[in-house]
Structure 1
Amino acid sequence: MILFRDTNGDGKYDLRTIFLGKLNQPYGILVLGDWFYVANTDGLWRYPYKTGQTEITAKGTKILDLPAGGYNNHWTRNLIAGKDGKKILISVGSGSNVAEHGLNNEIRRANILEINPDGSGERIYASGLRNPVGTDWEPKTGKLFTVVNERDKLGDGLVPDYLTGVQEGGFYGWPYAYFGQHEDPSVKQKNPEMVKKTLVPDLALGSHTASLGLAFYTGNKFPQQYRGGAFIAQHGSWNSSKLVGYKVLYAPFANGKPTGELQDFLTGFVADLEKGEVYGRPVDVAVLKDGSILVSDDSANKIWRVSAK
């Protein structure tokens, strides 16, 4: 079963069962026009598609190669259509923690890429994003937001994952700096000019939380306090002496920006904090047309539905 963005422009999701052939670590999926897109870790494929199809028999075409392999499962390739439907944005994480294998290993990585729907015209939409995964358009301003997994091995308190509005052409620090112009002392390749160019993210989400999924709530069924803000799925991280993450957060917004608050929305995934045991690990969040939300959980192998009475 797979989940994909509807094409009617309401920013919500439909659930469909689609059967495809053998894929290579697929993550991002998108319906745009008469095409069904699947982002494997090593390339973007598209298949002819008509609304309502439950099986795709036509042969897919690989329209774009993507860099694959690398550090600690930075394999996800998320997809989102441009606001006007004329472009596709692809999130590509870094191939290392802090470019310890050299910058040649990071070509086209730690970026959000932009392409035409046929795979042509690639350009970097924003860079210095160590591992951007969830992306969504803020409903009032139409600005792109993303959640980013930051670097490891600097201790439990550093570096915070973050939610941020994405400035087109902006640079967000990786690998030279983190959370603004804080130079990373562990990075071998120094670049003071790029440190100076680093933009400050909008909202810290806690260090090593592995914040992955992002969805703005565009429904009207939840209480008013949950409308217009962002749900964020935190998968939880290995690089911490204690369990952090393992929940879904809600970040309220006002005037198109996060207010700075964070609220626990869906918890209970931690079974035993002392033993480090968990029941599940949230990955992605999506809003359904009925106003409920879905949360995928790749540890329990479930999709959870949360609705309001």
Structure 2
Amino acid sequence: MKKPFVLFTYAILLAGFMSSCGQGKKSENAENTDTTATAEAPTAPDLPPPGKGSNHFSNVIGWKDGQTPQAPEGFVVTEFARDLKNPRTTYVLPNGDVLVVESQTERKGIVKKVTSAISGKADSEASGKSANRITLLRDANKDGKPELRETFLEGLNQPFGVLLIGNTLYVANTDGIVTFPYQTGQTKITAKGKSIMSLPAGGYNNHWTRNLLANADGSKIYISVGSGSNVGDNGMEHEVRRANILEISPDGTGERIFASGLRNPVGMDWNPDSKTLWTAVNERDELGDDLVPDYITSVKEGGFYGWPYSYYGQHEDPRRKGERPDLVKKALIPDVAVGSHTASLGLAFYDKKAFPEKYRNGAFIGQRGSWNRSAFAGYKVIFVPFTNGKPSGKPEDFLTGFIIDDKDVHGRPVGVTVTPDGALLVADDAGNRVWRVSAKQ
């Protein structure tokens, strides 16, 4: 088993890889983006040569009563909610209510459905229609067990990101941003949503998720939009406004590309020390078991991160060889590699004090687990320590036990959210649970 490695801006490279026992046309994205970010980059890693991809799909069997994932000594894992339908992520409202976003990949068309069934992909995730709803959970007495559960909002279109600014609730559907009026304590929204922005829909595998994050004063909103293909397979004219983090004003105007070349950025959060934007990126497939590492990185304004022409800085993708040497030269190196084909999607910095000191201001990453590898990788939540706003140690396992053997898994963690009382919520979309991890008292 290969060891994890960490790359960070001002430190020595710790090499290795982590596994789990788990178009010749120019890119409009790149041309419309200032890629002249000048911040000093991390050291480039040593990577193996490109190889041939492997497929290994998991079979999700769920959790029996009393079964939970495992956390390190000193922590307690409890079931916060069950019997959900693909809870992808959670969002905590100012009054403590927890919103659980329930949505999933939809295999549309007979060809996709048949291919999914034959390949085994159908067993690794839910099939059928997405729930397209948000469920509200209220734990009024703060005992870690919600007493109230209500359908908060429904009739959405593969929602993922949720954001509250003032009395306006933003929901990121796969095809656009919708706003709703919200009052503190409200348990159900029946008002019709207002569309403030359209987004390109459809995509390769699970690249339909659109996440949301506001800056400190709520004057700007950041939107993560994954690519529509693995490596621009359908032509870059189909990737406009994709593989980007977009920035808009709260009314949906003023759109610009904040950063580009990010194949599938999903999790986003602000580093509590440096106040910089960070994202978790799910990298490309079909270059071998150990290429390309997923990563978390600080996001430089105007930065270009390589997709699809290069990976992990200036390693040119052989499938795009010679097409855009100018962009390859400008590609920034990410900060922290977190394993190849881990499907690292969730990201949350721990800005509370309930956990031991080592976890303060560090990053939790939800790894859903991928399929383009001969052995499972991901299927866990990992932790990366930070000091003074910079990564300061190797990624380490935090929440495990999702993998049963080389075929079966209990679930697949995605969103990670820190609650006001310092617990960590983990959305297990295939296990249809939300787990709560707290420190022993």
TM-score bracket, normalised by the shorter chain, equals over 0.9
1:249-302 CA deviation, whole Å, 9 max, x = no partner? 0000012111241110000000112xx210010011000111111000011100
- Amino acid paired to 2:436: R
Instruction: Choose the corresponding residue for 1:209, options 323, 335, 342.
Output: 342
Deviation, 1:50, is 1.4
Q: Secondary structure at the match of 1:243?
A: coil
2:380 corresponds in structure 1 to: 247
Q: Deviations over 1:172-201 (max 9, x none)?
A: 000011001110011267100000100010
User: Which residue of 2 is the match for residue 305 of structure 1?
Assistant: 436
Residue by residue over 1:210-238, the C-alpha shift from the partner in whole angstroms, topping out at 9 and shown as x without a partner, is: 00000000111111111110000000001
Aligned to 2:113: none
After TM superposition, the structure 1 = structure 2 runs for residues 20-31 of structure 1, keeping only pairs within 5 Å, are: 20-31=153-164
CA contact (8 A) 1:171 1:199 kept: yes
Is 1:296 the equivalent of 2:383?
A: no
Residue from 228, 237, 252 that aligns with 1:119:
252
1:66 matched to 2:199? The reply is: yes
Distance across 1 between alignment mates of 2:415 and 2:405? 23
| Cα displacement (A) at 1:59 | 1.2
| Deviation (angstroms), 1:157 | 0.8
With over 3 angstroms needed to count, the CA separation of the structure-2 counterparts of 1:257 and 1:107, relative to structure 1, is same
2:223 alignment partner AA:
I
| Native 8 Å contact 1:42 1:68 kept in 2 | yes
One-letter code of the match for 2:386? Answer: F
Other-structure match for 2:98: 15
Q: What are the Cα deviations for residues 114-157 of structure 1, in whole angstroms up to 9, with x where unaligned?
A: 01111111000100000000000000110000010100000001
Q: Residues of 1 paired with 2:269 and 2:191: CA distance?
A: 29
CA–CA distance in structure 2, aligned partners of residues 77 and 42 of structure 1: 9
Q: Does residue 280 of the first structure (1) align with residue 416 of the second (2)?
A: no
The DSSP-based 3-state class of the residue aligned with 2:252 is coil
User: Where does 1:1-309 land on structure 2 (aligned, <5 Å)?
Assistant: 3-6=90-93, 14-16=97-99, 17=136, 19-187=152-320, 190-273=323-406, 276-309=407-440
Q: Give the superposition deviation at 1:83.
A: 2.2
Question: How much has 1:5 moved relative to structure 2?
Answer: 4.5
Equivalent residue number for residue 148 of structure 2: none
Q: Which has the higher contact order (CA 8 A, sep 6+)?
A: 2
- Structure 1 293/248 Cα, relative in aligned 2: closer, same or farther at 3 Å? same
SS state at 1:194 partner: helix
TM-score of the superposed pair, with normalisation by structure 2: 0.67
Cα gap change, 1:15 to 1:227, in 2 (>3 Å) = same
Q: Which residue of 1 aligns with 2:130?
A: none
CA distance in 2, matches of 1:126, 1:119: 18
CA distance in 1, matches of 2:97, 2:276: 23
> Which secondary structure state, in structure 1, belongs to the residue aligned with residue 435 of structure 2?
strand
What secondary structure sits across from 1:104 in the alignment? helix
Q: Is the 8 A contact 1:5 1:31 kept in 2?
A: no
Counterpart CA distance in 1 for 2:197 and 2:339 is 34
Structure 2 portions without partners, runs of 5+: 1-83, 100-135, 137-150
Change (3 A) 1:7 1:123: farther
* CA shift for structure 1 position 19: 2.0
Q: Which has the higher strand share?
A: 1
The change in CA–CA distance for 1:207 and 1:192 in structure 2 (over 3 A counts) is same
Give SS of 1:72's match. Answer: coil
CA distance in 2, matches of 1:203, 1:21: 37
Aligned length: 303
Cα deviation digits, residues 53-78 of structure 1 (max 9, x gap): 11112211111100010211100000
Q: Identity percentage over the alignment?
A: 64
CA distance in 2, matches of 1:21, 1:267: 32
Query: What's the C-alpha RMSD, in Å, of the aligned pairs?
Result: 1.5
